[in-house]
Amino acid sequence: MSGISSLLGSTFGSQSTSSGPALSSPGIGSGLDVQGIINKLMSIERQPLNALQSTQQSLKTRLSDYGKLSSALSTFQGAVDKLSSTSDFQLYQATSADTTAYTATADSTASTGSYNIQVQNLAAAQKMGSSNFSDAGTTTVGASGDQMKVTIGSNSFTVNIGGKTLNQIRDAINQASGNVGVTATVVQQNSSTYNLVLTSDNSGTANSMSLSFTNGSGSTITDPLGMSTIVSAADSSILVDNTYTITRSSNTITDALQGITLDLKATTTSNVKLNVSHDLTAVHKAAQSFVDAYNALHKTISGLQSGDLKSDSTLRMLQNQLYSVLNTPATGLSSSYKYLASVGVTIQKDGTMALDTTKLDSALNTDYSGVAKLFGDSGSGYMSRMSTQVGNMLDPANGLIQNSKDAVNRQLSDVGQQISDMQYRLSVIQDTYKKEFTGLDTLLGKMQTTSSYLTHQLG
């Protein structure tokens, strides 16, 4: 009997695996290594489960890779959309011949052209100052009940000033709930000379101030502060092309020339040239952003192709669709430009994209409108078609990426169920092995006892 035990031990070994709950001890009847035998058998039984778990992990990695692909494609779409309409090429720059006289900026509603501008006058906000006071925090002004009314245009507000110091009057004005656009400050000229200063918040003659004073009975009184004008309110004025005089309340003029904002700095005695042209630098930046985004997407795809998405049909379809757009010329355009390569955008031998800014500049200077249409003409321009194509790929309901994710999720669900079923089956098998080999161990123990007894009796 000891030979049977030795044979079983040498056949199944005594290695332990993680195939199931470990037995607390080897055979208690014969010394048979029940735990080792069961673990060895279960390691064989678990091989199909291991294969399923490996498949599950591969599917999870693939799902993660689709997420990376979707993110890279979204970034690419953002760069494409900046050039997907001809309105995206309404980029202008306004240049002043003398920025000490005025500066200028242009928005998308501007038009190319030039203007002669003379700055005749600068706008100013009215400023009023009080007579001198020996201090700002001790000496009070007027009598109790005295009030000051501040009027700007048709609006006004009133503050109490009687019996208050300059600091208190300043705070009362600034904190007044009805303040219609006046800021008060206290200026210290020296240790014994202080002045209250009122400044209109807005420039222009329409925002000039007027002051009136009354006592506690409502009667008009002489100004107890001795206020006088330091700076008069003034409007700005420019002469355009020696013909049009334009007056505004501010030194920032936004509505004189369409799409142009002028910031006046100083008056001039002669004309200062303003030139409005297409902003080629902005176009370069947008084109380079598109090229960079394409290369980033290409790098992502190349990296995924060397991993779990090797030979993946989704990647092949995506690449084919992108190449189809890039290789199909723009049609129906009244321009000599039909291909991206004709304006400096080319695909290199390694699959990356490059931008020749010199060639792009030449095209922009030759036919700016034609380049804009090549990129952004609705339905025909490269970026317009690319934006539509990428949008379809990223469609959350039925796009190429989402369909691939849905397919993987279905596979994960099936594999997950198979793993659950397999784990249950293995637990049943392990319980069966435990019962069988525990019974065998008990039987061998009895046989060994009987053998020993007979050997003793025969001896």
pLDDT of residue 247: 98
CA distances from 5 to 14, 36, 38, 442, 451 (A): 13, 13, 15, 12, 14
Give the Cα separation of 226 and 238 in Å (integer).
36
212: β partners: 149
- Alpha carbon 347 to its chain centroid, in Å, reads 28
Map tokens 């990296």 to a residue: 303
pLDDT of residue 379: 81
pLDDT in tens, the chain (459 residues): 333 333 344 443 333 333 333 334 444 555 667 788 878 887 888 888 888 888 888 888 888 888 999 999 999 999 999 888 888 899 999 999 999 999 999 998 999 999 999 999 999 999 999 999 999 999 999 999 999 999 998 999 999 999 999 999 999 999 999 999 999 999 999 999 999 999 999 999 999 999 999 999 999 999 999 999 999 999 999 999 999 999 999 999 999 999 999 999 999 999 999 999 999 999 999 999 999 999 999 999 989 988 878 888 888 999 999 999 999 998 888 778 899 999 999 999 999 999 999 999 999 999 999 999 999 888 889 999 999 999 999 998 888 988 988 888 898 899 889 888 888 888 888 888 888 877 777 777 777 777 777 787 776
Fold observed for domain 127-231: Immunoglobulin-like (2.60.40)
* Contact (Cβ atoms closer than 8 angstroms) between residue 420 and residue 121: no
* Confidence (pTM): 0.68
Residue ranges per structural domain of the chain: 2-45+407-454, 57-88+281-394, 92-123+236-278, 127-231
Give the Cα separation of 36 and 429 in Å (integer).
15
CB-hemisphere CA count at 13 Å for 458? 6
